[in-house]
Structure 1
Amino acid sequence: MNTQPGQTTQNAFSPSALNQILKKHLNEQFGSFWLTGEIFELYQSPAGHKYFTLKDSQSGIKCVMFKQKQNTPLAKGSQVIILGNLSLYTPKGDLQVNVLRIMDAGKGDLAQQFMLLKQKLQQAGLFEQKNKQQLPSMIGSLAIVTSPKGAALQDILNIIKSQNPLIEITLYPTPVQGEDAAPKINHALRVADEANHDAILLTRGGGSKEDLWTFNDEFLAHQIAQLETPVISAVGHETDESISDLVADVTCITPSAAAQLISGDFRQSKHLLTQQKQLLSLLVQDKLRLFQQQVDSRGHAIEKRHPSNLLKQQEAALGTAEQKLNNSFSSKWLALKNNYQHLHTALINNEPDLIIQHQRLKQFRQQLSNNIKSQLSDSHQALQLSINDLNHQNPLNVLARGFSITSRKQDNKVITDISQVKDGDEVVTQLKSGRISAKIFERLEK
């Protein structure tokens, strides 16, 4: 049968085992705690560790503060407040307090309140990074909650004005120290939050712990955590720590550092915007040139299909036909003339009977005249037919007689059959006096 250690003579504890169990139990049962008393029997080892007894009027307890924890000068008989945890020095079985932090008792009230509030809010999750908001990449509207009389405000305004004058700043004045400061700061934060700024800067310059105590208000901490607008806290100098810094979405070590952060890299952003503007201008110009070329191309195509250009082409064809007709007539006339000259020459050379030849010549002349007249008449009729045919084919003459030409608007193709269009198509009708645009609502076949 198994028994627990220390329950029988066979499994008795050793001093080392018992001390280890006690040390583990103390670590599990006790967390860190605050302890106050008077330093007694102070000793510092060559390694720099400090050993002392902390006592009151009735009891004392051994304490050890290792060198790496805090390099604070200690004096025998001084009243101190320490933050520590219980431990057991196992080689000797001595109970002692491992000191984590130590401070003069004269400053202990505020410091103890600060640590207690810090632990409380930390346990409530107000310091967790996952609950903090991100600042926008560029801040255009800034609310500043601070005293209008403080030097910190002027430093902030000067820095932002010199580095990013585009930021619109609204001041929400409030006292930043004193008993009534915290409620007024809360009110100013709520008003600023309702104004939908990009960010809120809560700030003040340096001062004593008492001057900065306003920013360690518990209600103020919850107020900051509940705001919809990201909050930047910059309270005091680099060494100062406040609850508002821990709760805020972003913390800066000084008001000037906060102004630098808020201003951002304005000059680089301005240069980048200038480059983008130039690039956009070039792209727009290229697009305009492309659109202009398309307009010119389509305008040229429309001009080629215009009825006036078709008429010019037909007029040119008519001129060519007329020229061919004239050339044909001239060629035939020259052939008849040459034949006449040849016959006349043969008549003279052969010296025929003049009377007979004269009669034959007269007949020939009459026949030639008749042929010429016939040829002229035929040519004139052919020319007149060609002219009439061209006039009939001339679209303007057709339009003048009350007819019209209808083409599809999408490709300017002349419509000669009802199958070429469907309901909803847009058409253009050319009349003598102008054009009419219409849409096909119904087709009626024969």
Structure 2
Amino acid sequence: MKNSDAFYHSMIREEQGKSPQTAYSPSSLNQLLKKHLANHWQALWLTGEIFELYRSPAGHQYFTLKDSSASIKCVLFRQKQSISLTKGQKITVLAQVTLYESRGDLQLNVIRTLDAGLGDWEAQLAQLKQKLEIQGLFRHDHKKPLPAWIDRLAIVTSSNGAALHDVLNIIQKHNPLIDIQVYPTQVQGPTAPGQIIEQLQLADTQAHDAILLTRGGGSKEDLWAFNDEFLARTIHQLETPIISAVGHDTDESITDFVADVSCITPSAAAQLLAGDFIQKRQQLKHQQQLLHFLGKTSIQNAQQRIDLNHQLLQQQHPKNTITRQKEVLAQKAKSLNQLVKNTVIHAQIQFEQTYKQLDRAIPNVKEKTSALEQKKQVLNWLGQQKLKSATHEFKQHVTQLNERSPMNILSHGYSITRSEDKKNIIDSKQVNTGETVETLFKSGRIRAKIIERLDD
């Protein structure tokens, strides 16, 4: 059934335009001609002189290429421009023959332009190199350094080229840990620069540590894709460090100048990227041993600090502080009692001495007795006052000791806040946001996390 339908449609196409009933429309004819040109004409080189030239606001250039007896219209899109065009300039173009359907005009879509007045490709390369150098694409301060250790590598090259085979063998031999992803592309021909640009831009978005752009040796024509201006500008704008290794050590391309690193051969680039894996493995082993030793030492030091802090905590614990203050209070109470006892004894001695003196002074016994009685009252009063004063002072000392007691302070609603290493916190700057602190109350304790620090 399908074969019969195809045969039917082919019969209709063969009859198209051969009778008034099967006449072409201008649109259908132009579509047919354009398709025919695309199927039967590949890109070709053409030399001529620019006769008419127009630059559109979008940057595309439309011009007429002519010789002494004929001319043809050409269009050079902005993305394909590599040299500046002027009226009367003789140029050589690589172009595809096509048809502008809306007007039925035959035209050339220009892929590449060369100044025919320069004489050869080397002069064209020198002109482009000078242009890009003036614009700063070769500046060393723009070049990105390669990472010291490469884990993920992108390789942009031909999937069946010898360069890829050599690079993979060298890296696998010297550093098998590198994760390699190949981005296949054409590496010669008129469509190669566009494919290389697409693959470079794709690789730049995949978080690779480095990109290797490479191909093996060849003629100047084979390597010409790596002298494309738009490829150079793409490399200049990449975020990932890029290595260019194009051709042999005598070959030179624009990508070598604009890349972050240039290697004379693909093998040299592979050696650079692989590095000395054995030496790095030994370094890692040494670092592992060093980290083990440092970790063990750090644990021992931490344990010593814990023991020291535990000892300091025991010394500064409120319970021990209260015990010491009780001992001081008891000593002061004992001293006060002894002082009172000594005062009473001294008063009694004075009283007995005075009584004896009075007894010896027999004259005016009544007067002496009265005076003695008064002195006795005075002494009793002084003793009572002294006792009251001593008792009051004793109570004041007791009150002061109680007021200064940490437990008394805690009973008034105050608290003691300590850091995780059990140090008392007296300044908000001793802690940071997110740390955990411990607060002691008269009864119990809590742990809290700092959500905000308000310094004075």
Normalising to structure 2: TM-score of the pair?
Answer: 0.44
Structure number, greater radius of gyration:
1
With normalisation by structure 1, the TM-score equals: 0.45
